[in-house]
Amino acid sequence: MTETANSGAQRQTWTSNRGFILAAIGSAVGLGNIWRFPGVAYDSGGGAFLIPYLIALVTAGLPILFLDYAIGQRFRGAAPLALRRLAKRAEVIGWFQTMLLFIISVYYAAVIAWALSYFYFSFGNKWGEDTATFFVSDYLKASEPGVSTELVAGVAWPLALVWVVIIVILALGIANGVEKVNVIGIPLLILGFGALVIRAVTLPGASDGLNALFTPDWGALTDLNVWIAAYSQIFFSMSIAFGIMIAYSSFQRRRANMTSSGLVVGFANSSFEILAGIGVFSALGFLAHQEGVRFDQLEGLTGPILSFVTFPAVISEMPGSTVFGVLFFGSLVIAGFTSLVSLVVGVSIAVQEKFGLSQRTAAVVVGVVSAVVSFSLFATTTGLFTLDTVDQYANNIGVVLSAIVMTVTVVWIAREGDLLRRHLNAISTFKLGRWWLLLIGVVGPIFLTVMLVQKVISLIN
């Protein structure tokens, strides 16, 4: 038996394939789907954006998802360990991915904390008439937005709660903690969010919002930045090339059918994303209708402002607003939380394996360190405004770099691409042909390198 086979023998596993699929969907479906996708699509060509988006899904999203799965399931470790087993020097790629996870998790937690307080504010529309003032000055207690660095009292308690619950779940382990949260959370999310979308599309003005979102601007297709936006969205949204899916599939049974699960996860994630676009833009169309303005005069259609300023305004206009508010912020909390769990799992298992810690110790150490950083950076007013910058670097540059280096290492340096392909084919019903190697070894790296260079140039200028 090989070293890998031995040390994997007592590794904890998901209780069922269904558990793994739900956890993988839980990781993929998150804030990225609800607040990132609709705005990105709107800014990047509307309906025409679906073309680069689908191309990114098929040429990079699914192929790299399969690669993550294969590495994790075969080499049985979080990214640093699994990649080291693949090729000694590849461990550093794993740590790079782990660093990205850490960076994302500290701001992601803060956003969930905001969503949690807004969940509470939904009862009775506590944000009042002027939702912008409420968010920036009353709730965040900022005299001048972007200047004050004081700890924001309003977000401190929810943030503490988020981190405590995360530590408890991680300490409970994969089957009893992570899997349980997703098995309960994901069906709840689908029901709640589904109800929300149905309500949104039946509001007056909804069709204006949908037209604004889906009317194609074909000219966008010649803009390289639109393509970069599509690939970044796919990576972030599917949680791929971050090491998360490596960690999650390292807890999969050895004989589990991976490629078919990957298709289910990818399809579910993109469907949810498009559903979210429909729901969010219908609601925005309704807002324009209520305020008697043209759709293109609306502002704040993406990111924190969309969720915490524009959406509360939508909700206040709505008959039966409490239910709608509770559904919207409840969905953000659940979707975000199941993704945050995966982000922290990625970091904590990596640390656990590196230092030979117990799962509990690793959960507490990683949880406490992340919470402290999360508090000091993001529970301040400026934190809110730094978020965009962090997103630029971690998600547009960091993950693309990680994907290029990982695929080139596997296929050309370690030359393990075909081994992984045969590994997946031996256990899966959806077989990967040699086209898969072509995608991850040639097409992907070339495409991604062009995009990365362009992005870096545009940031320098």
Residues of this chain that bind ligand PHE (CB under 6 A): 27-28, 30-33, 104, 236-237, 239, 242, 244, 339, 342-343
- Taking the complex as a whole, the smallest distance from the CB of residue 205 to ligand PHE amounts, in Å, to 28
Q: Which is nearer to ligand PHE, 200 or 276 (CB)?
A: 276
Q: How far apart are the first and last CA of the chain?
A: 54
- Cα dihedral 263, 265, 267, 268, rounded to 10, equals 160
Q: Least distance to ligand PHE from the beta carbon of 415, Å?
A: 28
Task: Write out the two tokens for 108.
Answer: 């992601």
Minimal distance, residue 295 CB to ligand PHE, in Å: 25
Closer to ligand PHE by Cβ: residue 343 or 384: 343
Q: Which is nearer to ligand PHE, 182 or 342 (CB)?
A: 342
Write down the least CB distance from residue 34 to ligand PHE, Å.
8
Nearer to ligand PHE, 75 or 235 (CB): 235
Residue closer to ligand PHE by CB (options 242, 295) is 242
CA-CA distance, 233 to 236, in Å (whole number)? 5
Please identify which residue in the block is written with the tokens 């972007």: 146
Could you tell me the smallest distance in angstroms from the CB atom of residue 33 to ligand PHE?
A: 5
Q: How far apart are CB 392 and ligand PHE at their closest, in Å?
A: 15
Q: Nearest approach, Cβ of 104 to ligand PHE (angstroms)?
A: 6
- Taking the complex as a whole, the smallest distance from the CB of residue 62 to ligand PHE amounts, in Å, to 15
Which strand (E) or helix (H) includes residue 234? helix 224-238
Q: How far apart are CA 250 and CA 70, in angstroms?
A: 9
Q: How far apart are CA 25 and CA 32, in angstroms?
A: 13
Taking the least distance from each CB to ligand PHE, the nearer of 233 and 409 is: 233
State in angstroms the smallest separation of the CB of 49 from ligand PHE. Answer: 17
Residue 459 makes CB contacts below 8 A (sequence gap 6+) with 392, 397
Smallest distance from ligand PHE to CB 135, Å: 21
Closest CA to 220 of 42, 365, 348: 42
Measure Cα distances from 237 to 217, 255, 399 in Å: 23, 27, 12
CB closer to ligand PHE, 252 vs 342: 342
Name the residue nearer to ligand PHE (CB basis): 131 or 342.
342
Q: At what angle do helices 180-201 and 206-214 cross, to 10 degrees?
A: 110
Q: Where are the alpha helices (DSSP H) in 76-205?
A: 79-86, 91-121, 131-133, 153-172, 180-201
Which residue lies nearer to ligand PHE by CB, 31 or 362?
Answer: 31
C-alpha Rg value of the chain to the nearest Å: 21
- How far apart CA 376 and CA 35 sit, in angstroms, is 24
Do 61 and 238 meet the contact criterion of CB atoms below 8 Å apart?
yes
Output 397 or 442, the one with its CB closest to ligand PHE: 397
**Could you tell me the CA-to-CA distances from 347 to 62, 102, 344, 398 in Å, in that order?**
23, 7, 5, 16
- To ligand PHE, the closest distance from the beta carbon of 306 in angstroms equals 14
Backbone angles phi, psi at 122, to 5 degrees: -60, -30
Given the complex with ligand PHE, which of 66 and 286 has the nearer CB atom? Answer: 66
Q: In whole angstroms, what is the distance from residue 216 CA to residue 422 CA?
A: 41
- Residues composing the chain: 461
Q: CA angle 100-103-106, nearest 5°?
A: 145
Buried b / exposed e along 136-158 (16+ C-beta atoms within 10 A): bbebbebeeeeebeebbebbeeb
